[in-house]
Amino acid sequence: MSDNIIVQDEGAVRVVRISRPEKKNALTSDMYTALAAALDSANADSAVRCTLIAGVPGAFTAGNDLADFMKAATQGAGLARPAHVFLKALVNNNKPLLAAVQGVAVGVGTTMLLHCDFVTAGTDAKFSTPFVALGLLPEAGSSLLAPRLMGHPRAFALLVMGRKLDATQAQACGLVNDVVAPEEADAHALKAAQDIAALPPEAVALSRRLMRGSVDDVAARIDEEARLFGERLKSPEAHAAFAAFLNRKR
């Protein structure tokens, strides 16, 4: 497990906090494993009616930890297994899922929101998915879910062109429900979760299941993306993009 994933219950709401502020909440393999375990344990706990994922001031998550990601890339491992397990846990999550986003939400920090039922963003939130610029492709089922949510043109601009969204733009395209002051994001999202938790749980679960439709399609897309992601990591395009990125970082 990971000390950077803090899990606590607020009544019937399971709060899962990503807390690695010194690295802008960049996700390591251990953190992915802990996030998946937190979602799975919420599923199994009848006292939990909602799950809320939150970050820290200034950072929801900066996406994959660079050291972990480069290790997987150089070893040809593709999308690291702990990350894949977490993405599958998102799909199989059967409790209403909410997020409170402050600051940066990069890569999976944006794509995981497509699995959420309600998202609160601070006015400082910035959403970006720089996959294609690295010679890669989107993950987390986002190639299926984003066009469904926001339409092909907006999804293409986000996922392929890498255009960033601020909180207001994210709200306009349906990725975010409410935009509040950054310091109010956690409390606002928790209040929404508590409102959901107060509703009849069976009616909520049935309504959510009908609205989400078949999760098999999403799970299959995650698997296909992961396979292609691994192939892309071995491509000359990706190798050149990584080299340019690392040179820029020096």
Show the domains of the chain with their CATH numbers: 5-180 (3.90.226.10)
Alpha helices in the chain (DSSP H): 29-44, 66-74, 81-92, 108-111, 142-150, 152-159, 167-172, 185-197, 201-212, 215-233, 236-249
**Dihedral angle computed from the Cα positions of residues 52, 55, 60 and 61, in that order, rounded to the nearest 10 degrees:** -110
Residue 234's pLDDT is 85
Residue 65's pLDDT is 85
Per-residue pLDDT of the chain (250 residues; tens, 9 = 90+): 579 999 999 999 999 999 999 999 999 999 999 999 999 999 999 999 999 999 999 999 999 987 776 666 666 555 678 999 999 999 999 999 999 999 999 999 999 999 999 999 999 999 999 999 989 999 999 999 999 999 999 999 999 999 999 999 999 999 999 999 999 999 999 999 999 999 999 999 999 999 999 899 999 999 999 999 989 888 888 888 877 877 775 5
Residue 245's pLDDT is 75
- Residue 78 CA, chain-centre distance (Å), reads 18
